[in-house]
Amino acid sequence: MVNAKDINILQLDKLKWIHIPNPSDENIEYLKNNFDFHPLDLEDCQTKVQRPKIDIYDDYRFLILHFPYFDKALKFVKTKEVKIFWGKDYIITIGKSHWIIRKLFQDIKAKSEIDIEELDNTSDALLYTIFDALMDDSFRLLRMIEDNLEKISFEMFTGKPEKVIEDISVTRKNLILLNTTFKPQLRLFQKFESGLVRGFSQNMEDYWGDVLDAYQKMWDSIEDYQELIQGFAQTFDSLQANKTNEIMKVLTVFSTILLPLTFLTGLYGMNVNLPLQDNETAFLIVVSVMVLIAVGLLLYFKKRRWI
């Protein structure tokens, strides 16, 4: 292990892994002096690129990928750029990369070898190891989203609409971000498996195919989760609409019952001569009539199955 300022260098036999977490002007100057990289690639190392890409040159490849991670609250999904220079005997990772890359760098540093027994310490094997670690972490993230979906499916029937609306909105937002992140990169990984992107080692086709299979599986899961959350949202809307209809039905029944009773009380509250007003039992008679009307309406509504 050789340390330079803000540059970590790991030597694995003839293979070198250089990790530059904070690409300053000095670091970019180091790359200019030691490697024949295209100026536009070096410029991309100091800026945030919104779309993934791979630039292919005679002696190296330059990749920019995006991989997801959860924020500290494990609520919202965010993405980190993974910038990689890939040469015959070196891998260079640039920028505040995904935490998996930092962890993998430390793990390989401790072992002094790539953890793939059937492969030598080559740049292709190291790149595959990086991809594999990032895929594993992405699968872990998708399992957490799947757990959130199961929680939402349970909460929809627990009578906590505010919490359900928040969870559905957050999960939908996360899935949209994952969709926009994974979709353009699927075509990029297909280039590895099809041979349009060639490495520097032989017999890597099966490994690139394994990467593509894992990525395709995650993409399919994201599409399934999007359909599922859409179904949850529609089901929840139907439940809330049905609940609102039930409330309105009860209120309408009470209003309908009170309408004739209000008419009678208003009528006998007028300062005019009315039947039975001089009768000592007038109050009881009016109340009895009101009770009969209320009971009669309730029985009618019950018979019609309106309540």
- Please tell me whether residues 128 and 163 are part of one structural domain: yes
For the chain, the distance separating the N- and C-terminal CA atoms, rounded to the nearest angstrom, is: 79
Output the pLDDT for position 3. Answer: 42
- Please tell me whether residues 124 and 100 are part of one structural domain: yes
Give, for 252, the enclosing helix (H) or strand (E): helix 205-267
**Which among 113, 264, 276, 130 is positioned nearest to 192, based on CA atoms?**
130
Output the pLDDT for position 2. Answer: 40
- Please tell me whether residues 125 and 82 are part of one structural domain: yes
Residue that is written with structure tokens 């209809």 in the block: 245
Final residue before a domain boundary, out of 193, 215, 240: 240
- Please tell me whether residues 120 and 15 are part of one structural domain: yes
- Please tell me whether residues 219 and 281 are part of one structural domain: no
Contact 212, 165 (CB under 8 A): no
- Please tell me whether residues 137 and 163 are part of one structural domain: yes
Sort residue 159 into left (φ over 0), alpha (ψ -120 to 50) or beta. Answer: left
- Please tell me whether residues 106 and 199 are part of one structural domain: yes
Range of the structural domain that residue 286 is part of = 248-303
User: Which of the residues in the chain have pLDDT under 50?
Assistant: 1-3
Q: Which residues, 6 or more positions from 105, have their beta carbon under 8 angstroms from its beta carbon?
A: 8, 10, 17, 19, 93
**Which among 108, 71, 85, 107 is positioned nearest to 38, based on CA atoms?**
85
